[in-house]
Amino acid sequence: MTELNPIIALMFFPGGIFVMLLGLLYVWINRKLRARLQNRVGPRWFQPIADLFKLLSKEEIIPEDANPTLFVVLPVLALAGVLTAALYVPILGMKAVHSVPGDLIITVYLLSLVTMCIGLAGANSTGRFSLVGVTRTLTQLFSYEAPFLLALLSPAIMAGTWQISEIVDYAGGRWLMFTHPISFIIAIVALMGKLEMPPFDAPEAETEIVGGALTEYNGRGLALFKLSHAAEMVIGFALVTALFMGGTTNPLLWAVQTLVLLLVVTLIEVLMARMRIDQTVGLWWRYGSVLAIVQIIVLVVWQRIVL
């Protein structure tokens, strides 16, 4: 809806505050579902908001050897990246606020910006655990990024365009996940890698390296990183829904689709043990990329020869 004033779209709805609140809701659903699956009670509905307020009210302590400007600016940059990505992705059944040719690449790049900000923040912290965490974060970034992009590429190749709204038009209400099954699965699993959810949570393995790259973060910086993680969750699910589950126009159906994706992701999260970083890289480079490429080849062959 390009009639919507872009400032309002960026700050309040559907980007900005709306996406952050929706993200906090999704984080709560994830935690509550995870608790119930483990036969526990789980937090009450306002827990993520309460965590956020608590963090915002604490003093921010900057490590002695860190660059203070970078320390303070990087969380803001991460949040800004995610909120900008919200402009290009169809949320809640409405068309994307802005649509430019090539915005699929822009969105994926903005989502990687968040991970790179986390990596830089950890490197800036100069603590021992942070440095190990940074190595793992960046290694994981390089391993799942290629299959993720290849998986998102398959609807793009079929539609012949890099623009999300045109891909959605090409889908025209059909659910592409049935014709691109492998890409769909790879996109979901790579999304788990991007969000650092188990089994791919080696970068923030609490029993090995305390907090990973964000070990030294506290107060306002940590609150902003958590917010950007929550918003990233919404944007990631929205992207996969838009490309593979037919661009819907019904808000309720969109909500149901993303919640089903969240349920599937949480189920996988609970069932698996954490993978070591070298096992993650091995998995992605051996199976992930190969399968994605195979899927693309099959589809191209189908399109050129059969049709």
Partner 1 sequence: MNNGNGNKIANKFVVPIGPQHPALKEPEHFEFTVDGETVIDATARLGYAHRGIEKTAESRTFVQTLYMMERVCGICSHVHATAFSLCVEKLAEVEAPPRAQAIRVLVAELERIHSHLLWLGVGAHEAGFDALFMYSWRDREVVMDILEALTGNRVNYSANVLGGVKCDVTDAIRDQILTGIDYLEERTHHYYDVVTTDAAFLQRTRGVGTMTKEQAMRLGVVGPTARGSGVEQDLRVDAPYAAYDIFRVNRVVEQGGDLEARFIVRVKELFESYRIIREVLDNLPEGELTARMPRRIKEGEAITRVEAPRGELFYYVRSNGTDMPDRVKVRTPTIPNMASVLHLAIGHQLADVPMILAGIDPCFSCNDRSVRLKSAGGDDVWTWEKLRKYGIDYYND
Partner 2 sequence: MSVTKIGTMFGDVVNGLFKKPATNLYPFERREAPERLRGHVVWDASLCTGCGLCAKDCPSNALDMIVLDRKAKRFVMRYRLDQCTYCAQCATSCRQGAISLAYDQWELAALTRESFLSIYGDPDDIAEALAAEAGEQTDEA
- Residue numbers at the binding site for partner 1 (CB under 8 A): 37-40, 64-65, 126-129, 131-132, 135, 198-199, 201-202, 205-210, 270-279
The least CB distance from residue 268 to partner 2, in Å, is 8
Q: Which is nearer to partner 2, 42 or 63 (CB)?
A: 42
Helix, strand, coil percent values for the chain (each to nearest 5): 75, 0, 25
Q: Decide if residue 41 touches partner 2 (CB under 8 A).
A: yes
Distance CA 141, CA 74 (A): 18
* CB 121, CB 217: distance < 8 Å: yes
Q: Which does 202 bind (CB under 5 to 8 A by kind): partner 2, partner 1, none?
A: partner 1
Q: Does 39 bind partner 2 (CB under 8 A)?
A: yes
> Do the beta carbons of residue 171 and residue 217 sit within 8 Å?
no
DSSP 161: -
Supply 307's token pair. 């049709």
| Binding piece for partner 2, criterion CB under 8 A, among 224-232, 242-250, 265-273, 281-289 | 265-273
Nearest approach, Cβ of 244 to partner 2 (angstroms)? 23
Residue 198 contact, options partner 2, partner 1, none, Cβ 5-8 Å cut-off depending on partner type: partner 1
d(CA 25, CA 23): 5
User: Of partner 2, partner 1, none, which one sits near residue 276, judging by CB under 5 to 8 A according to partner kind?
Assistant: partner 1
In sequence order, which residues have a C-beta less than 8 Å from that of residue 62 and are 6 or more positions away?
Answer: 68, 71, 72
Q: Give the interface segment with partner 2, choosing from 175-183, 230-238, 247-255, 266-274 (CB under 8 A).
A: 266-274
286 binds partner 2 (CB under 8 A): no
Q: Which of the choices partner 2, partner 1, none does residue 41 contact, using the CB cut-off of 5 to 8 A by kind?
A: partner 2
Nearest to 239 by CA among 96, 139, 115: 96
* C-alpha 46: how far from chain center: 22
Q: CA-to-CA distance for 213 and 130, rounded, in angstroms?
A: 4
Q: Which residue in the set 8, 50, 252, 272 belongs to the binding site for partner 2 (CB under 8 A)? A: 272
Nearest distance in Å: CB 42, partner 2: 8
- The secondary structure of residue 16, as a DSSP letter, is H
Instruction: Provide the greatest CA pair distance for the chain.
Output: 64
| 174 part of the interface to partner 2, by CB under 8 A | no
267 interacts with, out of partner 2, partner 1, none, CB within 5 to 8 A per kind: partner 2
CB of 40 to partner 1, least distance (A): 6
Q: Helix (H, G, I), strand (E, B), or coil: what is residue 156?
A: helix
Q: Are 190 and 151 in contact (CB under 8 A)?
A: yes
Query: Residue 38, interface with partner 2 (CB under 8 A)?
Result: yes
- When CB distances are held under 5 to 8 angstroms depending on the partner's kind, the choice from partner 2, partner 1, none that residue 131 binds is partner 1
Give yes or no for residue 44 binding partner 2 (CB under 8 A). no
* 185 contacts partner 2 (rule: CB under 8 A): no
The closest of 188, 174, 6 to 96, measured between CA atoms, is: 6
Q: How much is the CA Rg of the chain, to the nearest whole Å?
A: 19
Residues that bind partner 2 (CB under 8 A): 33, 35-42, 267, 270-272
